[in-house]
A and B are shown apart, each in its own frame.
Chain A
Amino acid sequence: MPVNEQRHKVRDVSVRVWRSGKGTPLVYLHGAAGFPGWLPFFEQLAAKYDVLVPEHPGFGKSDNPAWIRNVGDVAMYYLDFLDGLGAERVHLVGHSLGGWIAAELAVRNTGRLATLSLIAPAGVRVKGVPSGDNFIWSPEELAKNLFHDQAFAERMLAQPLSEEDADLALTNRFMAAKLGWEPRWFNPALERWLHRIDVPTLVLWGADDKLMPVKYAEVWRARVPQVSVETIPQCGHLPHIEKAEATAGKLLGFLARRP
């Protein structure tokens, strides 16, 4: 399936968007490391849906407007983004930081959402179960802690970054810190508004996530009204990469049961 890279402008902010497939739009919000490349996972989704993967403001080559200072600002930006798509409703999927953004958007307004799917989302915490400190980890520690299967970590570390990619990674790291440094990867107010998410919701988690502990799934299970929670065994923080087949399968199964 051909992938189309384009720029999408809403008000004063222009971002990169990768798009492929036909059908109901499915918008995927990426995690703190930025656009992960066009993954086999996206291919599987694009067989059934019109998949859009925007690069968040401040990440990669998207605009970085000064007014975006926290996750709430990004969520408001994506409400504008969805209004500008020309579709009545979309399936919204978010991973990690992107899951947090999607949830912040949903507690504000689910008017544009058919469903909400969160993969190892940030945004809430469980006291006594801290998230991993990805900002203090060395690149080696980060790779190791992102995966259950260390072969993935070794492959990640074996690929030297080009200068351009290293610059983009640093840009992403800067924006991730702006959004998630303190409080680290959560908004204390979000948990008390999760009851407002009134669309079918799927929460997917790798059972061996060393960055966002799978224990956090309990908060989503307890607070989101129409939620189903599924864990993926032998999987770290990146289920869409480490267990792409299983993750796409669970997500497509969930979506197929909805209009």
Chain B
Amino acid sequence: MKFTFFHLMPYRPLDMAERHKHRAAWVVLPNTLYDPKKGAEEYHAYIDQLAHAEELGFDVIAVNEHHQTAYGLMPAPNLIASALIQRTSKAKIAILGRALPLVNNPINIAEEFAMLDNLSKGRIITGFVRGIGNEYHATGINPSFSHERFQEAHDLIVAAWTRPGPFAFEGEHYNLRYVNLWPRPYQQPHPPIWIPSMGSSETIKWAASPERKYTFLVTFSGRDLVARYLNLYREQAKEFGYEASGDQLGWASPVYVADTDARAQEEARAGMETLFNDFLAVPWEMLMPPGYTSLSSMKNTMRMRKALGAKKRHSLEELMASGTVVVGSPRTVRDELSKLRDATGANNLVTMLQFGVLDNEHTRRNMELFAAEVMPHLRD
């Protein structure tokens, strides 16, 4: 397997009592709750962790984009990627991902990725996402056109990377007389594209199609859903007439390792529970703005939600039971991860070893134990 060390960069000093006076840690949480002195320390600690991951042998270090939230402090992930290029020399650097529909000129994204690819001499992995529903409240972009804008922006960016310029791009949302990228990407024909997704069948089919074969990552899902979506991708590839390789498949999961199961659970609890209940949890209206998914999938989700009943806090035990997080001794973690690898054939594991309020010291221990006691056993 290949290992990615992924970071959300949450704002850990968040006053949780204040946070729960607001509907979410997103969009409407007053930014007076952000203390720049503490926030600056967070950036430094997190960049150190990402750089340390390379020393520990992770193949990829990864950042991501979210807006107007304490959940993640990277509205501009390419800035962090640029800093990481200077701090590292071997690891690939993945931006998982940029939210394409949220920008009004996707050329900006094509340009920045091309710059990073040159600066790093080809160590960049790009990720294309739509952003989660909250982002459509934060940016004002109409969720009704999210899918259209994603497709069109993707087509424009890939064309900008691969077609000799200048050329004209004529779309519904984006119209440019001159597309002529300086610099062109370092990797040819273009940097790898990964698609992190909660797993809609349309996205899976699109990512798996032979002209793309993009690496598909299932994020923040229980083990059954991870297996189902990754196998859907495999089946889809077969329908397209080819066998999907393990490199095209991966999943992302928060992981915590300590010497015993009991100790791991004790040390991970606050981090995992704050991640899901305080940082990530948002009301339905924020997460699922109308048009963000198709009408039929929204109807299904609403029925499921009605059946599940009122929202409550997720305990660490529930998160572990569903396989949404993996916590335990090295042996427990190895077993859990290798089971899912064997069930899916996926070759990419995107680990989140800092999560929620987990402090720097425990993050470091978690990273080092994972690298020493788990990673070698799952390597090819």
Residues on A facing B (Cβ under 8 Å): 135-138, 163, 166-167, 170-171, 173-174, 176-178, 181-184
Contact of B142 with A135 in the complex, beta carbons under 8 Å: no
The 5 closest A-B pairs by CB, nearest first: A177-B290, A178-B144, A181-B142, A174-B290, A173-B290
Shortest distance between the CB of B152 and any CB in chain A (Å): 14
Residues A138 and B283 in contact in the complex (CB < 8 Å), given A170-B298, A182-B140, A182-B142: yes
Residues A178 and B295 in contact in the complex (CB < 8 Å), given A135-B285, A135-B290, A136-B286: no
Contact of A177 with B285 in the complex, beta carbons under 8 Å: no
Contact of B285 with A136 in the complex, beta carbons under 8 Å: yes
Contact of A135 with B289 in the complex, beta carbons under 8 Å: yes
**Chain B residues, CB < 8 A from A136:** 23, 27-28, 137, 285-286
Chain B residues 267 to 303 lying within 8 A of chain A, measured CB to CB, are 283, 285-286, 289-291, 295, 298-299, 302-303
Cβ of B127 under 8 Å from chain A: no
- Interface of B: prevailing SS: helix
Residues A166 and B283 in contact in the complex (CB < 8 Å), given A135-B289, A177-B142, A177-B143: no
Query: Which of B141, B143, B286 has most chain A Cβ within 10 Å?
Result: B143
A182 to B145, CA, bound (A): 11
Contact of B137 with A135 in the complex, beta carbons under 8 Å: yes
Residues on B facing A (Cβ under 8 Å): 23, 27-28, 136-137, 140-145, 283, 285-286, 289-291, 295, 298-299, 302-303
User: Which A residue sits closest to B23, measured CB to CB?
Assistant: A136
**Chain A residues, CB < 8 A from B144:** 174, 177-178, 181
User: Which B residue sits closest to A177, measured CB to CB?
Assistant: B290
**Chain B residues, CB < 8 A from A170:** 290, 295, 298-299, 302
Contact of A174 with B291 in the complex, beta carbons under 8 Å: yes
User: Which A residue sits closest to B141, measured CB to CB?
Assistant: A182
**Chain B residues, CB < 8 A from A181:** 136, 140, 142-144, 289, 291
Residues A178 and B142 in contact in the complex (CB < 8 Å), given A167-B299, A170-B295: yes
**Chain A residues, CB < 8 A from B23:** 136
User: Which B residue sits closest to A166, measured CB to CB?
Assistant: B302
**Chain A residues, CB < 8 A from B136:** 181
Shortest distance between the CB of A132 and any CB in chain B (Å): 13
User: Which B residue sits closest to A172, measured CB to CB?
Assistant: B290
User: Which B residue sits closest to A133, measured CB to CB?
Assistant: B137
21 inter-chain pairs at a CB distance below 8 angstroms, sorted by A residue, are: A135-B285, A136-B27, A136-B285, A138-B285, A163-B303, A167-B299, A170-B295, A170-B298, A170-B299, A171-B295, A173-B290, A174-B290, A174-B291, A174-B298, A177-B144, A177-B290, A178-B144, A178-B290, A181-B143, A181-B144, A183-B140
A207 to B166, CA, bound (A): 57
Contact of A137 with B298 in the complex, beta carbons under 8 Å: no
A136 to B285, CA, bound (A): 5
Query: Which of B144, B145, B302 has most chain A Cβ within 10 Å?
Result: B144
**Chain A residues, CB < 8 A from B303:** 163
Shortest distance between the CB of A178 and any CB in chain B (Å): 4
Of the candidates B285, B290, B299, the one whose C-beta lies within 8 Å of that of A137 is: B285
**Apart from the given pairs A182-B142, A184-B140, 18 other A-B contacts in the complex at a CB distance below 8 Å:** A135-B137, A135-B285, A135-B289, A136-B23, A136-B27, A136-B28, A136-B285, A166-B302, A170-B295, A173-B290, A174-B144, A174-B295, A176-B290, A177-B291, A178-B290, A181-B140, A181-B143, A182-B140
A216 to B298, CA, bound (A): 34
**Chain B residues, CB < 8 A from A177:** 142-144, 289-291
**Chain B residues, CB < 8 A from A135:** 137, 285, 289-290
Contact of A178 with B298 in the complex, beta carbons under 8 Å: no
Shortest distance between the CB of A67 and any CB in chain B (Å): 12
A33 to B144, CA, bound (A): 17
**Chain B residues, CB < 8 A from A178:** 142, 144-145, 290-291
Shortest distance between the CB of A61 and any CB in chain B (Å): 13
**Chain B residues, CB < 8 A from A174:** 144, 290-291, 295, 298
A183 to B299, CA, bound (A): 26
A182 to B142, CA, bound (A): 6
Query: Which of A135, A174, A176 has most chain B Cβ within 10 Å?
Result: A174
A23 to B136, CA, bound (A): 46
Shortest distance between the CB of A134 and any CB in chain B (Å): 9
A167 to B290, CA, bound (A): 12
A178 to B291, CA, bound (A): 7
